Amino acid sequence: MPEDAIVASGITKAYGSMMAVDHVSFRVPDGGIFGLLGPNGAGKTTIIKVLTGLSDLTDGEARVAGFDVRRYPMEVKQRIGWVAAEVILDDDFSGWENLWLQAKLQRVADWQDRAARLLEYFTLSAFKDHKVSTYSTGMRKKLEIALALLHEPEVIFMDEPTIGLDPGTRRMLWELITGINREYGITIFLTSHYIEEADALCNRIAILDQGKVVAMGTPNELKARVHGDYIELGTAETVDETRLLAIPGVHEARAQGPTWILKVDRSEEFLPHLFEHIHPDLIRKINVAKPSLESVFLQLTGKRIDQASNEAHDYRKFYANVRRARG
C-alpha cells in the first residue's frame, strides 16, 4: 500500500506568542482531494507554507510525497506543485513564455510536449502566444495551475484556487481540478473559504478556526454532525400545529405562509410516520432540506466564512529555492 501523500502530525507554527497553526494533524491518501476550510486568518496559508517547506515548523512533523519536510525539503519541493492565492505571472510574457520560464526555474528538460498538452487541457492553446496581460482572471488561474503541473508533481497545493472568479468560471475550474486528480492521478490539497467548493471537490475536509482543526471528515460526515433535517410540507387541507407535533419525530413545527416547516431527526425515518398521520393524497408539496456545510461551520465556529485576503505569497522564493538546490 503506498504511503499517504501527506501526513501532518501535530504541526504547529507560532509567530511570537501567536499560534497561527496549533497542533494540527491529518492525512491525505495518495490520489485524494483534501480541503482546508476556514475564515480569514484561520491558518490555511500557513499550513500550506509549512507543508511546502516555505516556512519552518515550530513543532510537529510533516511528510509530503514520502519525505519529511524538515529533513528533506528539496525532495519534497521537487515532488509538489504550488498555486498561490494570488495570480503571479509575468504579464509581459506570453502563456508559452511563462511556461518556458517555469521550465527554467524548475529545471524541467523536454518540457515542450508536456506544456503543449497542459495548454490543451486548460483550453489555452489558442492563446499561447498572447501576452498574459490580455488574459482574463480565469485564464490566468488556469495558466498558473498549468505552471504548477509542468514538472509532473505528485501533490499539488492550491491556496484558494477560485478566489475572485465569477460563479461560472469557478465551476469550470472545479471540473478542471477534479480532472487533474482523476486523469493525472495527482493528490490535491486545497484551501478555500467557499463551502460549496469544498463540498463539490473534496473527499475529505478539515475545518480550521484560529489555527485549530475543529472538525474533519467527508462532506457528508460533517453535515451529519448538524442534527436534523427540515421538511417543507404543503397540504390540501388545514393542518394545525398540535396534529403535526403529535407525529413521532417532529421536534418543531413552524408555519410559513400556507406551508409548514418541520424539524425532524432524519427525514428518511420520519417520512413513513408522516404518511401514516397525514394521508399522502392530502399532501400537495414536500421538500426535504438536509443540513449544509454552512450550518456545520456556523455551529462549530460561531462565524461565517468570510472574504479571504489576497496576499501575494513567496511564490518566487519557492521556485528560486528549488533552483538553488539543484545548483
Ligand X SMILES: Nc1ncnc2c1ncn2[C@@H]1O[C@H](COP(=O)(O)OP(=O)(O)OP(=O)(O)O)[C@@H](O)[C@H]1O
Binding-site ranges for Mg ion (CB under 5 A): 44-45
Comparing CB distances to ligand X, the nearer of 190 and 253 is 190
Closest to 79 in 3D by CA, of 56, 53, 97: 53
Place of cell 401514516: 276
- Our finding on whether 43 is near ligand X (CB under 6 A) is yes
Compute the least distance from the CB of residue 192 to Mg ion, in Å.
Answer: 10
Q: What is the dihedral of CA 288, 290, 292, 296, to 10 degrees?
A: 140
By CB under 6 A, the count of residues binding ligand X is: 13
Q: Is residue 10 near ligand X by the rule CB under 6 A?
A: no
| Contact residues for 307 (Cβ-Cβ < 8 A; gap 6+) | 40, 193
Least Cβ distance, residue 54 to Mg ion (angstroms)? 13
Give every CB contact of residue 265 below 8 A, 6+ residues apart in sequence. 227, 228, 229, 249, 251
- Shortest distance (Å) from residue 64 CB to Mg ion: 19
Angle at which helices 137-149 and 112-121 pack, to 10 degrees? 140
Q: Using CB distances below 5 to 8 A depending on partner kind, what does residue 42 bind out of Mg ion, ligand X, none?
A: ligand X
Query: 43 or 161: whose CB is closer to ligand X?
Result: 43
15 binds ligand X (CB under 6 A): yes
Residue 20 in contact with ligand X, rule: CB under 6 A:
yes
The grid coordinates of residue 47 equal 499550513
Q: Using CB under 6 A, pick the residue from 10, 29, 31, 41 that binds ligand X.
A: 41
Pick the stretch among 41-49, 170-178, 224-232, 281-289 that binds ligand X (CB under 6 A): 41-49
Distance CA(5)–CA(266), nearest Å, equals: 36
Using rule CB under 6 A, residue 46 touches ligand X: yes
Among the candidate windows 38-46, 102-110, 116-124, 266-274, which touches ligand X by CB under 6 A? 38-46
Closest CA to 101 of 110, 118, 113, 89: 89
Pick from 199, 286, 194, 203: which is nearest to 239 by CA?
286
Q: Which does 43 bind (CB under 5 to 8 A by kind): ligand X, Mg ion, none?
A: ligand X
Q: In terms of CB distance, is 45 or 94 closer to ligand X?
A: 45
How many alpha carbons fall within 13 Å on the CB side of residue 23?
1
Task: Catalog residues that contact ligand X under the rule CB under 6 A.
Answer: 15, 20, 38, 40-46, 193, 308-309
